[in-house]
Amino acid sequence: MKGLLTLSDLKTEQILDIIHYALELKQGLSVSYENKKMATLFFENSTRTHYSFITAMMNLGIKVIDFNSAISSVSKGESLYDTIRTFEALGMDGIVIRHPKDEYFKELEKIQIPIFNGGDGASHHPTQSLLDLMTIYEEFQSFQGLKCCIIGDISHSRVAHTNIEVMKRLGMEVYISGPKEFDDGSAAYIPLEQAINCADILMLLRVQFERHKEKMKMSTLEYHQSFGITKKKTEQMKSKAIILHPAPVNRGVEIADDVVECDKSRIYKQMTNGVYIRMAVISMVLDGKL
């Protein structure tokens, strides 16, 4: 299948190429695809990924159709495959999809046009991981040997699962921390204090209540007291260490209000970088370079 479904499909050199191209676009490189049409189909709520993909397409001169599932024939029982096949028949040059089902794209193998995965279940979020990597690269100019600790609801997080695989491949040391009930063994677990002291990158995650089959064992207040990153805790971080968060953030739960935009936070820079990463990915796929 064409497009970008998972980062595991890409070689490490291709990941680095995307980041370097996104940096060139951020520095002002201009490319245009004015004869292209694409559609965004979000079957799960989103602010950043949805509108950042649309912004990226607008920056590239691509005409965009923004599908609204609630007023579509999905309500009449139309399948995902038939919906996407329809957009292919309408002449789209590419489609962005977010869907709550893990690896929904396995149902779409007969689709010929590129598909850009905007997140599937708790499995993959390739462009989020790429924008995280771009933000890290801008800060440290390298990945080798950096320590990243991902804190929070690891087991329900496609961001954590995507990042852990690719960060290890790029030579980073990746650890997880937070409530033990969310430790799914996807990386080595370390206590929070150790994570705060040793990490070059602290990546915080929202508790994803909407995916929970069982109620979290602690209250949100208890979570904040035990695992939330407060201004006081940031003072124990290395001097050049940074805080990332894919957002949306839950202020007062995993992150204190005054940490969201503190000196160490790169949360809004991540969002800005997301536009350039998505421009880079779309451009490379449309040019047949990915």
What DSSP element (H or E) covers 159?
Answer: helix 158-169
Task: Provide, rounded to whole angstroms, the least separation between the CB of residue 212 and ligand CP.
Answer: 16
Q: Which residue matches tokens 């953030």?
A: 249
Task: Provide, rounded to whole angstroms, the least separation between the CB of residue 1 and ligand CP.
Answer: 22
Task: Provide, rounded to whole angstroms, the least separation between the CB of residue 30 and ligand CP.
Answer: 26
Q: Which range of residues in 44-52, 167-175, 187-195, 210-218 is near ligand CP by CB under 6 A?
A: 44-52
How many angstroms separate the CA atoms of 260 and 248, rounded?
11
Q: Which range of residues in 1-9, 32-40, 75-83, 245-253 is near ligand CP by CB under 6 A?
A: 245-253
| Single residue of 128, 234, 250, 283 touching ligand CP by CB under 6 A | 128
Binding flag, residue 246, ligand CP (CB under 6 A): yes
Task: Provide, rounded to whole angstroms, the least separation between the CB of residue 248 and ligand CP.
Answer: 6
Q: What Cα–Cα distance (Å) separates residue 265 from each residue in 208, 246, 269?
A: 21, 12, 9
The residue among 190 and 206 lying less far from ligand CP, judged by its C-beta, is 206
| Single residue of 150, 190, 247, 279 touching ligand CP by CB under 6 A | 247
Task: Provide, rounded to whole angstroms, the least separation between the CB of residue 198 and ligand CP.
Answer: 25
| Single residue of 58, 248, 257, 268 touching ligand CP by CB under 6 A | 248
Q: Where are the beta strands (DSSP E) in the chain?
A: 3-4, 37-42, 63-67, 94-99, 115-120, 147-151, 173-177, 188-189, 201-204, 242-244
How many angstroms separate the CA atoms of 128 and 75, rounded?
29
Structure tokens at 193: 């204090």
| Single residue of 8, 32, 47, 79 touching ligand CP by CB under 6 A | 47
The residue among 96 and 174 lying less far from ligand CP, judged by its C-beta, is 96
How many angstroms separate the CA atoms of 120 and 108, rounded?
13
Q: Which range of residues in 31-39, 137-145, 227-235, 242-250 is near ligand CP by CB under 6 A?
A: 242-250
Q: Is 151 buried (19+), middle (13-18) or exposed (0-12) by CB count in 10 A?
A: buried
- Evaluate whether 205 touches 154 at the Cβ level (below 8 Å): yes
Return residues touching ligand CP (CB under 6 A): 46-50, 119, 128, 246-248
